[in-house]
């Protein structure tokens, strides 16, 4: 039997048996950890595209998932979120090859990186965790609208509580702390979710309700994964306290829940943990900051997204 404390750590699980026949899902960073477990679950339901930087790792994960689920529709495509050129190439290729897109799971992320920059000169946490997914969502949104009802799922973190959007030093050039940089980027995920939901809902008023695209964020829990690989101390602590950490499968449950649960059909702009609504920090509910971050993000990426 599972000890009660272990059951508590495991948290909520997605009970939905929803099928995704004829539907297409994109999951970023699905070659390891909770992304891989999310892909494994959704591959039992429909077609999954694993979008990753490391093609060899992604292919290994995909063939394992194909063998286990019997679903040959698990496809790998190259996507490096630290390079806007790669993001644009991925989107262009995807839109050329696939006519459908119903679920976009912005799962990939970096954590506790020493100070470094993306190909476009963005601080790594902000660049990958926020701006990369912001641009990807922008490029794929029309297809999601065409295939609606559709869902966007942003994997954020409880760490957003420690974040703030420092507009005066967005790239961390004046002061940098890798733990805080991660928190800031996870707060950006929550604010992006909030503002995108507001904009998509506003648009809904003009259409038949059939054009529903929802967007929700989530905290997967503290998961035993490779995300802490940049920190020797965290890797060591993770090993010691592994009993109190979720397995990647347990950590994937809320991502799967947000992607498929029938009761979320018209729920948007929310934040979940353990497959239920969770508390958002006051900074994560600040509409003015959300709007400003949206505009600054568009400026940095050189896009117009109204």
Tokens (6 digits) for 181 = 């940089």
Determine the pLDDT at residue 129: 98
In this prediction, residues 225-233 reach a mean pLDDT of 56
Residue 98 gets which letter from DSSP? -
Residue 130 pLDDT > 60: yes
Active site residue 182: yes
In this prediction, residues 188-211 reach a mean pLDDT of 77
Instruction: For domain 19-300, give the fold.
Output: Rossmann fold (3.40.50)
244-291: pLDDT as tens digits: 677 889 999 999 999 999 999 999 999 999 999 999 999 999 999 999
Is pTM beyond 0.75 here?
yes
In this prediction, residues 151-170 reach a mean pLDDT of 96
More confident residue, 12 or 204: 12
Determine the pLDDT at residue 1: 63
Strand, coil or helix: what is 182?
helix
- Alpha-carbon distances, residue 210 vs 100, 204, 205 (angstroms): 16, 9, 11
Percent of the chain with pLDDT over 90: 81
Q: Looking up tokens 């630290």, which residue turns up?
A: 82
| pLDDT band at 7; cut points 50, 70, 90 | low
Determine the pLDDT at residue 231: 56
**Phi, psi dihedrals of residue 22, rounded to the nearest 5°:** 75, 5
Determine the pLDDT at residue 221: 82
Determine the pLDDT at residue 209: 44
Return the closest-CA partner of residue 135 out of 71, 86, 207: 86
- For residues 259, 261, 266 and 268, what is the CA-based torsion angle, rounded to 10 degrees? -50
Distance CA 306, CA 17 (A): 36
81-91: pLDDT as tens digits: 999 999 999 99
Is residue 139 within 8 A of residue 87, CB to CB? The reply is: yes
| Torsional sign, CA 84, 90, 91, 92 | positive
Residue 78 pLDDT > 90: yes
Residue 234 pLDDT > 90: no
Determine the pLDDT at residue 222: 74
Q: Which residue in the list 115, 176, 182, 271 is annotated as catalytic?
A: 182
Least confident residue range of 13-27, 123-137, 147-161, 225-239: 225-239
In this prediction, residues 216-238 reach a mean pLDDT of 67
Determine the pLDDT at residue 207: 46
| pLDDT band at 204; cut points 50, 70, 90 | low
Distance CA 188, CA 41 (A): 27
Is residue 183 within 8 A of residue 159, CB to CB? The reply is: yes
Residue 225 pLDDT > 50: yes
| pLDDT band at 191; cut points 50, 70, 90 | very high
Distance CA 233, CA 95 (A): 42
Determine the pLDDT at residue 306: 86
Mean pLDDT for the chain?
A: 90
Residue 2 pLDDT > 70: no
**What radius of gyration, in Å, describes the C-alpha atoms of the chain?**
18
164-190: pLDDT as tens digits: 999 999 999 999 999 899 999 999 999
Residue 100 pLDDT > 70: yes
């Amino acid at each position: 039997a599972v000890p009660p404390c272990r059951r508590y750590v495991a948290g909520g699980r997605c009970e939905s048996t929803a099928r995704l026949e004829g539907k297409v899902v994109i999951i970023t960073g699905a070659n390891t950890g909770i992304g891989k477990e999310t892909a494994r679950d959704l591959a039992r339901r429909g077609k999954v595209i694993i979008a990753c930087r490391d093609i060899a790792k992604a292919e290994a994960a995909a063939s394992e998932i194909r063998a286990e689920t019997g679903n040959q529709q698990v496809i790998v495509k190259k996507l490096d979120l630290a390079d806007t050129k790669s993001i644009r190439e991925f989107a262009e290729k995807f839109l050329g090859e696939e006519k459908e897109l119903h679920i976009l799971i912005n799962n990939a992320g970096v954590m506790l990186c020493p100070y470094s920059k993306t190909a476009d000169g963005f601080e790594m946490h902000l660049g990958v965790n926020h701006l990369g997914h912001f641009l990807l969502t922008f490029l794929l949104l029309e297809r999601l609208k065409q295939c609606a009802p559709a869902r966007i799922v942003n994997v954020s973190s409880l760490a957003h509580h420690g974040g703030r959007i420092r507009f005066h030093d967005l790239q961390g050039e004046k002061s940098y702390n890798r733990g805080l940089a991660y928190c800031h980027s996870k707060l950006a995920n929550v604010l992006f979710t909030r503002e995108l939901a507001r904009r998509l809902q506003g648009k809904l008023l003009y259409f038949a309700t059939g054009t529903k695209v929802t967007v929700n964020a989530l905290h997967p829990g503290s998961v035993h994964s490779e995300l802490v690989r940049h920190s020797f101390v965290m890797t060591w602590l993770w090993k010691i306290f592994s009993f109190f950490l979720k397995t990647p499968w347990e950590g994937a449950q809320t991502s799967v829940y947000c992607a498929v649960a029938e009761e979320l059909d018209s729920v948007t702009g929310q934040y979940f943990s353990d497959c239920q609504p969770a508390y958002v920090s006051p900074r994560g509910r600040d509409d003015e900051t959300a709007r400003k971050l949206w505009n600054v993000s568009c400026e940095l990426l050189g896009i117009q997204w109204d």
